[in-house]
Structure 1
């Protein structure tokens, strides 16, 4: 036996009548699809149901599996404390999954539990499933800030553990799509919202899990999705399997996308091993970016690589352009990995003798001194994408109307406190938003009187 089927489902608490109090009738298509999923699970009669929820415990660098023998929870925080659920965990399968993850060097396991109570991302599916199916054991798994490939590979660990123990298992990947579909929705509207939902639902309908790995990280962030990592783990659990995909429903009347999809396993299909294709495509894309780097970016890359490989700072290379060696300016060096920021350190004004020295200094600082991240390791170097921003002179502004978040960066200052934000950043869509973020970075409250300056940059990628 192995994984019999997997299902992608949303988790709006209002779909539970005692929570929705009539509002659930506005998502009847989702309710009908959920009932279809519950019926199918009842037919399968699984030994274990694995719930993957973005609202379980989440760490940036670790996939958490709920420990213990059992857990319970209720919808008390949603005004329906009588709506209660309890599950018994499949502890043997949990241990096997942990072992497989350790063998693949994927950081995952039962450490670091902060709360035992079931989350609504798990309880909403349970609300429907337990009406038709009882007697199963459960496993609850969270998501993390790890890469799409690592979530997929963790899914493969689940599949291998299930097959080794000869379990009949169903995967329930809980997750909403975009939360930014309507102006009057919970998070407003962003144009990326409908785009994300179309990409995800097409991937569900076709069973094309490569699309779930390929969705751009910035698109995901702006769309405000919460389920993609759940779906990527689910995709990995179905690695190498022939499936029958069906998109059962999709709707978003409250400004949040709700999709229900089923993937019934029909047999083996070695051609459906998507992570290898994804990583090969990513490798080619990174190689193309490296080939197109200018002298500024090449110098930043060489500086960090030299420091991590030798422990010594790079000496000034010969033959650099005069623009690098004869000018002084503030410089920010940014590092990204898999589309996500991995480090960013810079100087508002030049503190060394040249832009080249500034790059050499700040590239190392971005890799090993950014307090928001762990130090970059030598193993990560081939996965990093660099950008170098050379700052122009800062000038005072009298009003927000003189700012443009795409063209100008901003500096806010109060005494010795200063906060800076670069221009043209993903997710920053107005000068006021720029100022708010810069104030937070500078530890300056909105109620204080502060100085605002703007500056232009030349961005090298």
Structure 2
């Protein structure tokens, strides 16, 4: 049964080394994410599942200890899902010696980074699930229900962004529908309204480049009937992309 959830955005810019000189611009967002992860830990789950959008090659389940990397963004930062930070020795070709090849999609790598820097207890099992934008809403709901049934006390860390069309300089340019779409997501997260998340318009989300639609609908399925309370910790659109941080708790 789902006993707690956190929702966080998944831009690699959350990792300060990736953001470089722009890192201070997202300090408030990082702080809100850290608080949400600590709230997850306080719920004392038996199992944590990190859910986020993924490209086709990296969809599906990822076991605890799965490797992720931000080397594609020009920084030597590696993570492992649900495992404490380990010293990494780099070979001459830039590959990490003694570590598995990165398999995590970037969204789950950001989630792993958040867990690592919040001091997640490695004794609590963590697994990941990469889901694709094409996954239909009904199937997302079914997946969420399956995840919630994996233990008596399940927690989810849901990684996903809102629309990417809030300003002229946004990745998807300005779309006048984006603000209303994001406002609806924010209301649903604040109220832990699984029905509203389940009803998100898939076509509109696609047009607005809302990468978090499928993960949010997985959360809707997992939380259905759980009677959790919601708290919206962050709702802004830096860089023209809707970012939300929320906590659901019993």
* TM-score class normalised by the smaller sequence: 0.7 to 0.9
* Matching residue of 2:121: 134
Matched, 1:150 2:150: no
Tell me how far apart the structure 2 counterparts of residues 87 and 216 of structure 1 sit (CA, whole Å).
31
1:357-396 correspondence to structure 2 within 5 Å: none
> Aligned partners of 1:237, 1:41: CA distance in 2, in Å?
15
1:85 maps onto 2:61 in alignment:
no
Match of 2:45 in 1: 46
Residues 58, 76 of structure 1: alpha-carbon distance in 2 compared, 3 angstrom cutoff:
closer
**Cα 1:153–1:11 shift into 2, 3 Å:** same
User: Which residue of 162, 173, 176 corresponds with 2:151?
Assistant: 162
Shift of residue 88 of structure 1?
Answer: 6.1
Q: 2:35 maps to which residue?
A: 36
**What is the alpha-carbon distance in structure 2 between the residues aligned to residue 71 and residue 201 of structure 1?**
31
Size of the aligned set, in residue pairs, is: 230
CA 1:84–1:51 in 2, change beyond 3 Å: closer, same or farther? Answer: same
Contact 1:51 1:174 in 2 (8 A): yes
Query: 2:3 & 2:57 partners in 1: Cα distance?
Result: 27
Shift of 1:69: 6.4
Between structure 1 and structure 2, the one with the greater Rg is: 1
**How far has the Cα of 1:152 moved from its partner?**
0.7
- Asked if the contact 1:181–1:257 (Cα under 8 Å) also holds between the matched residues in 2, the reply is yes
Alpha-carbon distance, 1:200 to partner:
0.7
1:179 equivalent to 2:164? Answer yes
Q: Give the Cα–Cα distance (whole angstroms) in 2 for the partners of residues 69 and 148 of structure 1.
A: 27
| TM-score, normalised via structure 2 length | 0.83
- The change in CA–CA distance for 1:187 and 1:149 in structure 2 (over 3 A counts) is same
Secondary structure of 2:24's counterpart equals helix
TM-score, scaled to structure 1:
0.47
CA contact (8 A) 1:41 1:133 kept: no
* 1:57, distance to aligned residue in structure 2 (A): 4.0
Conserved? CA contact 2:69–2:102, under 8 Å = no
For residues 281-300 of structure 1, the aligned pairs below 5 Å read none
How far is 1:207 from its partner?
1.6
Rounded Cα–Cα distance in structure 1 between residues aligned with 2:135 and 2:167 = 29
1:206 aligns to what?
191
Partners of 2:116 and 2:135 in 1: CA distance: 32
Q: Call closer, same or farther: CA 1:88–1:253 in 2, change over 3 Å.
A: closer
Q: Report whether the alignment pairs 1:121 with 2:107.
A: yes
- Is there any run of 5+ residues in structure 1 with no aligned partner, and where? 90-114, 267-461
Between the two structures, name the one with larger relative contact order (CA 8 Å, sep ≥ 6): 2
Q: What is the CA RMSD across the aligned residues, in angstroms?
A: 2.2
Residue 30 to residue 235, structure 1, CA distance change in 2 (3 Å): same
1:429-458 CA distance string (max 9 Å, x none) = xxxxxxxxxxxxxxxxxxxxxxxxxxxxxx
2:244 aligned residue: 259
The reply to whether residue 64 of structure 1 matches residue 57 of structure 2 is: no
Q: Does the 8 A contact of 1:58 with 1:142 survive in 2?
A: no
Once the 2 structures are TM-superposed, how far is the Cα of residue 195 of structure 1 from its aligned partner? 1.9
- 1:188 aligned to which of 164, 168, 173: 173
Do 2:172 and 2:208's aligned partners in 1 also have CA atoms closer than 8 Å?
no
Shift of 1:238: 1.3
Contact 1:27 1:251 in 2 (8 A): no
CA distance change for structure 1 residues 116 and 23 in 2, over 3 Å: closer, same or farther?
A: closer
Is 1:244 aligned to residue 233 of structure 2? Answer: no
Is contact 1:56–1:141 with CA below 8 Å preserved after alignment?
A: no
Q: Secondary structure at the match of 1:140?
A: strand
DSSP 3-state at the match of 2:150: helix
Shift of 1:65: 2.1
> Residue in 2 aligned with 1:229?
214
- What is the aligned counterpart of 1:197 among 182, 185, 195? 182
Query: Distance in 2 between the 1:21 and 1:216 partners?
Result: 35
